[in-house]
A and B are shown apart, each in its own frame.
Chain A
């Protein structure tokens, strides 16, 4: 009788711990999905930093996330197509956030605010963005100074081996 009671107790405790284990596993695996998304986001943010730090875009190598406006103008003017094998991404766009603009004017043009630097033509692209400073060296009243505006860099990442739209 006592052995039976004991065995019931052990089974009860075992079942209790199994339920607790399932509860913990449920929470852990719920976090795995969120963790995967977070890692993808971290990777994207790191990629954006790497791209913004490239000598082709960077304004001052001591500062990260600072883009040279003159280099942008050149790249948006069509030179970026020659870099097709160079960019490790699907697309790269940069636009001004401040000063605020009413309509999008693609560069190169007077008073432009949108730089379409590179587009590989991939169809399935996931886009990530971050704020950047867009700086240029300006000469006014005989003096040279740095003028920085606020922009947003939008990087398109290829999803698997997506097709290229011609």
Chain B
């Protein structure tokens, strides 16, 4: 009888001990989940804003730049924003005798490369020109993207269609 009581008491203690361990493990799991959430939020916030502002400024400056392509006649030279529209509409540069898309394809790479060349912090870049529905028209890229990426995009409305120019810099 005494032996049975002893076994019961020991088993009861073990049960309580197991409950405490389960409780402790639960607390640890909760704290770990909290830490993970905290880490994810703090990693997400880092450095994107300023980088985004810089790339946004790059896109604005690029769009305003006057090209050597005149669709109608000289001196009505297109800026890059108009050139994107002319490329979509299938126009040609009257003064150069090439299509707007061919000129855009060639000149945009040179312009962005020279912009990036003056910035030692840039390892790689990518510019994509597409229609809102997801149809890609042109794409340029150079360099390797290993670190953080900053990006910006502009929407150009041309004849009821939204054209998207997206730039990513890393």
**A residues in contact (CB < 8 Å) with B:** 9, 13, 16-17, 20, 23-24, 27-28, 31, 34, 38, 41-42, 45, 63, 65-66, 97-100, 129-133, 135, 138, 140-141, 143, 145-150, 152
Contacts and interface: CB of A to CB of B under 8 A. Distances in A.
Nearest to A66: B64
A114 to B, nearest CB: 12
B27 interface: yes
B77 A131 contact: no
Nearest to A100: B114
Given A27-B39, A138-B75, A140-B74, A150 B115 contact: yes
Contact of A148 (B53, B54, B66): B66
B114 to A, nearest CB: 5
Nearest to A131: B61
B38 A24 contact: yes
B57 A41 contact: no
A23 B115 CA distance: 42
The B interface, classified by DSSP as helix, strand, loop or mixed, is helix
Interface string B91-116: 00000000000000000001100110
Interface in B82-138: 110-111, 114-115, 117-119
Given A34-B46, A45-B53, 10 more contacts: A9-B20, A23-B35, A24-B38, A27-B42, A31-B46, A65-B57, A98-B115, A99-B114, A145-B77, A150-B62
Contacts of B77: 145, 147
A148 B65 contact: yes
Given A24-B35, A133-B64, A147-B66, A97 B114 contact: yes
